[in-house]
Amino acid sequence: MTRPQLNIVIIGGGIGGLFAANALIAHGCNVSVHEQAPALGEVGAGVFLTPNSVRQLQRLGLADQVERWGARVGKASHYFRHDGAPIAPVQVTDTAGWNATFGMHRADLVDILANALPSAVISTGHRATGFEQTDEIARVTFANGAVAEGDIVVAADGIHSELRRFAAPPSRPVFHGSVAYRGVLPHQRIPHWPVDRWQMWLGRGKHFLSFPVRSGELINYVGFVPADAEMKESWSAPGDPDMLRREFEGWDPRIGTLLNKVDKTFRWALYDREPLPAWTCGRLTLLGDAAHPMLPHLGQGANQSIEDGMALATILSLASRADVPAALLAYERLRRERVAAVQRGARENGMRYDSSYADLGVRDAEISAHASFRRRLYDYDVVPEAEAAAASLRQGAVSPRLR
């Protein structure tokens, strides 16, 4: 007998929410996406895609778009000391040698995911303000007076999630004492900059990253520096290019060459959260940064959100309406341990990148050895584990959590 289609309400039209919508539709669900901003979009900065998420984009038929709009980074990718002395190559493949690592402009990835959806799926200008549920239905209310109902609500509304409080105990974001200056430069303004590699320079309390996006037409840069009190209070704000340049004076001259071309930059304070003890309550679950905001030091924020979306879609494809609470709990249990490990790994890597070592030789050795961790990270395929979780669900091995 054919299972009735589940109706799923997604709150948040960022990378995680839009990928989940695509994956859920591909698995036979009805989906609506509600975004609080008046239009979809992302601030002009880059995101790094790695094999563990690219294989999921590939499953949805989006690999050609990633190839078209991304910029593949290859074996010339490297870590350097602050003065340009080489440390180690960057791991850019999985164990099998698949070089599916791409720099992407965030806006391009949002466009790819949004354009793959039917036109009626996305509603903008919908800021979620409330949630309630019964045994049979979940309901979200919005500031504009609208109401959305479904079998499931997925909160993909970021680190400031409005709906997290209905699924998880209260928690506070953790500030990590630094900010990231981010931006993009047209490659034509710095034509000698390579467009085939990811490069990072490491110094005391600071590090600097660059990689290409948009088929090499743009160079994405990020400068990580210690924060003062004013910076700590600002989650994101325009940055001062001159201050950014001063932060990296005396570093590898290549960085100065790039920063001399910068006339506009944005500044993000770096926060994450401690791993949550629960993501799910009845017919509500969390996804992406709403569930597991992480520091950018493994480049895994978007990648883990994509894994979340495919895991959720795979499990729900085999669930009935009656199964929903247990199915969402199976999704949470599958994902929570992995993303907690990635959150911890991002924190640890940030310590390496900011050179908190008496002996930099130890740091350099750890950077070299870290390639094995990245290979394991990139080898992971969430689908077989999600299929196994769905099989356990059918056998009644997962009991729902209700509050």
Confidence tier at 173 by pLDDT (50, 70, 90): confident
Q: Is the pLDDT of residue 235 over 90?
A: no
Task: Count up the domains in the chain and report the number.
Answer: 1
Q: Is residue 156 part of a domain?
A: yes
Q: Is residue 207 part of a domain?
A: no
Q: What is the rounded CA–CA span in Å between residue 88 and residue 114? A: 37
Q: Is residue 313 part of a domain?
A: yes
Confidence tier at 402 by pLDDT (50, 70, 90): very low
For the chain, the distance separating the N- and C-terminal CA atoms, rounded to the nearest angstrom, is 32
Q: To the nearest whole percent, how much of the chain has pLDDT over 90?
A: 82
The pLDDT tens digits of the residues spanning 3-38 come to 679 999 999 999 999 999 999 999 999 999 999 998
- CB neighbours of 6 closer than 8 A, spacing ≥ 6? 29, 30, 150, 151, 152, 316, 319, 321, 324
The pLDDT tens digits of the residues spanning 93-135 come to 999 999 999 999 999 999 999 999 998 999 999 999 999 999 9
Q: Is residue 1 part of a domain?
A: no
Q: Is the pLDDT of residue 1 over 50?
A: no
Q: Is residue 201 part of a domain?
A: no
Q: Which residues of 274-300 are buried (b: 16+ CB within 10 A; e: fewer)?
A: ebbebbbbbbbbbbbbbbbbbbbbbbb
Structural domain boundaries enclosing 55: 7-172+273-394
**CATH code assigned at 283:** 3.50.50.60
Q: Is residue 268 part of a domain?
A: no
Q: Positive or negative, the Cα torsion across 292, 293, 297, 300?
A: positive
Q: Is residue 29 part of a domain?
A: yes
pTM of structure: 0.94
225 residue type, one letter: V
Question: Pick from 18, 254, 293, 4: which is nearest to 151 by CA?
Answer: 4
pLDDT, mean of residues 36-63:
91
Q: Is residue 400 part of a domain?
A: no
